[in-house]
Chains A and B, each alone.
Chain A
């Protein structure tokens, strides 16, 4: 099982180590540094490495590497999932997952790691269970603790730990009982230069914020559940009910959680909200190039496209861009070669356009690669797949909760090739 954990910053310093069995020397990380060196970009470091006596499995989150050392045959996905869970927990406790915040809270971090894993076996990874055992830091509590000599470690066994619903604690009480659900869909698409869709799929997620007293039992049904054939649920969802009736039936955890994620594959027809007309060309003579991009609405279901943004990775030889935008602003970063055009709201009557010339390094042959465009956008009050929640019912408690569902569509990895 998981033997040790090293947390490494972007400079390659190990600033935290934790061993769950015997201590393993830091020198084991040298193999990782070697691979890190070779990969050039931190994103490209292979996640599973083999050394003569150990295996190193790492993830890259928030400019930090979480590197775990294992010695026996352990499912790598198990380790990777766990590492992400560790990072999620830090995020949850401290608001972000960065070197400074980890160093600032090193004792809590250590207590957390000890609670999450025992002898390499996961012990408690549910955030609400952890929070009962080790309370997250906040200013008020630390003041009170200093005055009263209290501690931030729970004295009793968390109740959720062993019940059949480990994700919910007992005795929850709210004055305003409310349950909010956010349906967020991201479009991942590749569009080729002629405007035809090479591939398009939707990653959807339903995030919930449930603040309900007692032990509520919720049922959520959809207008068109047939859309969902590839789903993964929070453990609280009763799978059998879903299989037989296509409704989500669950006793929710308290607070924020991800109820389900779903995937609508490229085999279904995925609506693409915008089209892009572009031409980017480079001329050998005069070492310059020309750029012309226009964006227009395609399938927006009558909603407004907001927060529209185009990012272009320019070839190395492009020195500067001299463009005019009919709407919004553009910036060109010389060092990262990133052209960012921030458009804002898309007005169907007056299509935004960006055109002008690019100045190139002289004496360098024409770039081989074609830059590709990345689109960011947001559409409020629309799930582009057409998914709609039809009802939300509560059983088991008598009060009337306040319920709400919000939809939003975003661009995920939305790429236009040129």
Chain B
């Protein structure tokens, strides 16, 4: 006998018949009728018309019948609020029942009836149940507070239920504690500022005790709650970690991942030289690997989180590369995630293995996966320099397969490899050019055009190749059009004699026949550059490009920190902060990792930067101990003691410019004639590593004012600046930020007319007065300069720039 009989209908009309049965005298018939009603309800049929008849069955001593009626009530009370009142009396009576199961059931069901009038009657029974002698009733009541809060938050606060709930955290029964925590967390989520979860060492201790004894689901609630706590010092942090680690062996993967979250967060506070720190790192790997042998849906969530973990602490899984190898029957969403992690873990040690795998994947069936595998080979080349050559030859092998999408994807990544390792693998260009005709995707076409333009001098028929693209110019996508325009201009600058016609053609196509403003603008800029000052044009268009690096696809460090705090949540799956997608997130607090609490203040750059993380300077996470010198990126014009601006003076100077390299923007600045006479020497010194120390002081970590300033470091070696050496530091003297510099002339001629200009930077730093260098600086002379700074300058909202650009006359 099965329940399918409940779905059979008769001619008379289902509702009518059910009504009769519900009002039958026989208990058994009644029960069967209610079952039929429930069955209809589950499949979405509307049986609300039977409301009074079903409610009439509620007064019964048969528990099953009672439960069924409750089920019905929960579903339909909202649509029949007046009728629902009829049920209140029974509920209140049931809350007094000697059987705890019935008491709990009543309070639970009442909370699910989302009718205002009923909630008023709910308060008294709920208050009693929260103090019930039976823990089963108490734990049910705890959840009921959350339900009630969802319906009427004000009522819950007025009735003092929140305080009762907080008291339940100290309950003797672990299940009650877990449910109280769960209820409070849910309430706190809708009231982020209510400070409901007032965590202190005592409550933490209670939670940790309950953690060992409650159900798996309760453990998840408690662990998630623990993750919001910030321990006072590294010792407390360690003791919490020790008590949480056993959870890593739990069979429930959600418990495991929540425990990983707690550990990843509290680990930040442990000193790295502690033995326990190493032990903990070792303990984290096996459970993460185990998550990958679970069901594919679990694997997916685990992989998204592992992706974050390997970015933050690559050492945890560095030996586990093999578990991320793709099996052919993995669902595609698992395959793609595994691939991503393989690249993150790729290193010189395992690159051969990884490449062999990737090559295998590139011959698979699934197009998306194959594309991503080809892309991964390119990313390996960029990440692991030693493997670049191997990667390029693998890519060439793949191009030989002539499978259309493989070829296109390979060309896109080879372009990136060229940008990372210029002048190294150009020998493959010939092979690439053979496949020109088969490219039909914009990205691949654009990449190929870029390659042709960039290496125009090595490709004999570059003009023919580009001309062939030009025929269908208007049918191309914007990406390709822009690239084509730039490539032809590059070609022209390299081989001006043969390609004059071509460049005119493309410029007129871009400026006159196109309605795309980006394209027109770029066209006009090139046009004007070429017509007014071809040498400047050369500097701009053929400027050396900054190398690309692996970091481009890493998650930005502040975001990564926040996401680490959200391991196991939706945020970690989307790789976005909760504020970016959680609805009504007005009050979502940004979580950050706790900093290390080593003592010793800011004696060394290491601790200074650690402190910078724990305090809150906007978005600075300096790499440890970075020295400005490494990051210097110079462009400067050749030293002419006096006279006209450098551009367009001689071909020899041009060469010098190229050698020195530089950012495009400063060259554009020169080309578009910022009057150089007014600014004979200008250098801009954006914020540097030294500034961290400064901020540390500003944050008042307990240093006497002005007692410390970092020693001067060489910002600009003489070799790179035609004889002008600048070393300097930042300091705070009597409350004023100062930049202290020593300028040394190591050139043969006298230097004069110094000036300084600050680029817009993340701290809003700007000079408070002009640079005071009055006397000319004769050869081998040094001068000390102090420049007061203030922080009222325009703030650039971006990652701090760390380069110093110098111009000397």
Contacts and interface: CB of A to CB of B under 8 A. Distances in A.
B300 interface: yes
Interface stretch (B286-294, B470-478, B480-488, B663-671): B286-294
Contacts of B220: 75, 78
Given A104-B2, A156-B99, A188 B293 contact: yes
Given A118-B108, A265-B323, A235 B300 contact: no
B136 A162 contact: yes
Interface of A: 1, 14-23, 26, 39, 41, 43-44, 46-48, 50, 53, 55, 58-60, 71-78, 80-82, 84, 103-111, 114, 118-119, 121-122, 125-126, 139, 142, 146, 149, 151-157, 161-162, 164, 166, 188, 190, 192, 198-199, 201, 203, 229-235, 239-240, 242-243, 258, 260-261, 263, 265-267, 313, 368-370, 372, 374, 413, 415, 417
Interface in B428-461: none
Given A44-B333, A114-B67, A415-B327, A119 B112 contact: yes
B253 A44 contact: no
9 contacts: A21-B112, A48-B573, A75-B254, A118-B140, A157-B99, A157-B100, A162-B175, A201-B323, A313-B328
A111 B297 CA distance: 26
B146 A119 contact: yes
Contact of B3 (A18, A104, A260, A417): A104
Contact of A153 (B67, B323, B574, B581): B67
B39 A106 contact: yes
B101 A73 contact: no
Interface in B532-582: 568-571, 573-574, 578, 581-582
Nearest to B357: A198
A80 B571 CA distance: 16
B462 to A, nearest CB: 32
Contacts of B114: 21-22
A162 B251 contact: no
A50 B251 contact: no
Contacts of A47: 296-297, 300-301, 333
B585 to A, nearest CB: 9
A110 B71 contact: yes
A105 B250 contact: no
B762 to A, nearest CB: 30
A232 B112 contact: no
A106 B71 CA distance: 13
A413 B327 contact: yes
B300 A48 contact: yes
A188 to B, nearest CB: 7
Contacts of A103: 3-4, 7
Contacts of B286: 229-230, 263, 265
Nearest to B403: A368
A338 B758 CA distance: 69
Contacts of A190: 325, 327
A166 B216 CA distance: 11
A50 B333 contact: no
A48 B328 contact: no
**Dominant SS among interface residues on chain B:** helix
A106 B42 contact: yes
Please indicate which of the listed interface residues A22, A122, A142 has the most CB atoms of chain B within 10 Å of its own CB. A122
Q: Which 6 A-B pairs have the closest CB atoms?
A: A230-B286, A104-B2, A153-B64, A47-B297, A151-B64, A77-B254
A156 B104 CA distance: 12
A372 B328 contact: yes
Contact of A233 (B6, B249, B574): B249
Given A164-B213, A232-B249, A266-B322, A368 B363 contact: yes
Contacts of A153: 63-64, 67
A55 B570 contact: yes
Contact of B78 (A22, A48, A151, A166): A22
Contacts of B78: 22-23
A71 B570 CA distance: 11
B253 to A, nearest CB: 5
Interface of B: 1-4, 6-7, 27-28, 31, 35, 38-39, 42-44, 62-65, 67-68, 71, 75, 78, 99-101, 108, 111-112, 114, 134-136, 140, 143-144, 146-147, 150, 173, 175, 179, 182-183, 186, 189, 213, 215-217, 220, 224, 246, 249-254, 256-258, 286-287, 289-290, 293, 295-298, 300-302, 319-320, 322-323, 325, 327-329, 331-333, 356-357, 360, 363-365, 401, 403, 568-571, 573-574, 578, 581-583
A119 B143 contact: yes
Contacts of B179: 121
B44 A17 contact: yes
Contacts of A139: 1
B319 to A, nearest CB: 7
A49 to B, nearest CB: 10
B38 A149 contact: no
B42 A17 contact: yes
Given A121-B143, A368-B401, A53 B583 contact: yes
Contact of A119 (B101, B147, B253, B257): B147
A384 B465 CA distance: 61
B573 A230 contact: no
Please indicate which of the listed interface residues A15, A106, A198 has the most CB atoms of chain B within 10 Å of its own CB. A106
Please indicate which of the listed interface residues B63, B135, B258, B302 has the most CB atoms of chain A within 10 Å of its own CB. B63
B190 to A, nearest CB: 8
A340 B171 CA distance: 60
Contacts of A58: 297
Contacts of B100: 157
Contacts of B146: 119
A81 B251 CA distance: 10
A80 B220 CA distance: 13
Contacts of B183: 121
A239 to B, nearest CB: 4
A77 B257 contact: yes
A402 to B, nearest CB: 27
A119 B183 CA distance: 10
A44 B186 CA distance: 32
A14 B44 CA distance: 9
A152 B64 contact: yes
A368 B407 CA distance: 14
Please indicate which of the listed interface residues A73, A74, A111 has the most CB atoms of chain B within 10 Å of its own CB. A73
Nearest to A149: B28
A166 B218 CA distance: 13
Given A53-B583, A142-B1, A233 B251 contact: yes
Contact of A230 (B108, B290, B300, B329): B290
B577 to A, nearest CB: 11
Contact of A235 (B65, B134, B251, B574): B251
Please indicate which of the listed interface residues B27, B253, B320 has the most CB atoms of chain A within 10 Å of its own CB. B253
A265 B301 contact: no
A107 B35 CA distance: 7
Contact of A1 (B186, B289, B297, B356): B186
A152 B62 CA distance: 11
A113 B222 CA distance: 24
B3 A108 contact: yes
A188 B326 CA distance: 12
A240 B257 CA distance: 20
Given A53-B583, A76-B569, A413-B327, A16 B42 contact: yes
Contacts of B254: 75, 77-78, 80-81
A80 B297 contact: yes
Nearest to A413: B327
A73 B189 contact: yes
Nearest to A94: B2
A161 B136 contact: yes
Given A78-B254, A190-B325, A199-B322, A230 B287 contact: yes
Nearest to A139: B1
B27 A149 contact: yes
Contacts of B175: 162
Please indicate which of the listed interface residues A21, A78, A313 has the most CB atoms of chain B within 10 Å of its own CB. A78
B561 to A, nearest CB: 18
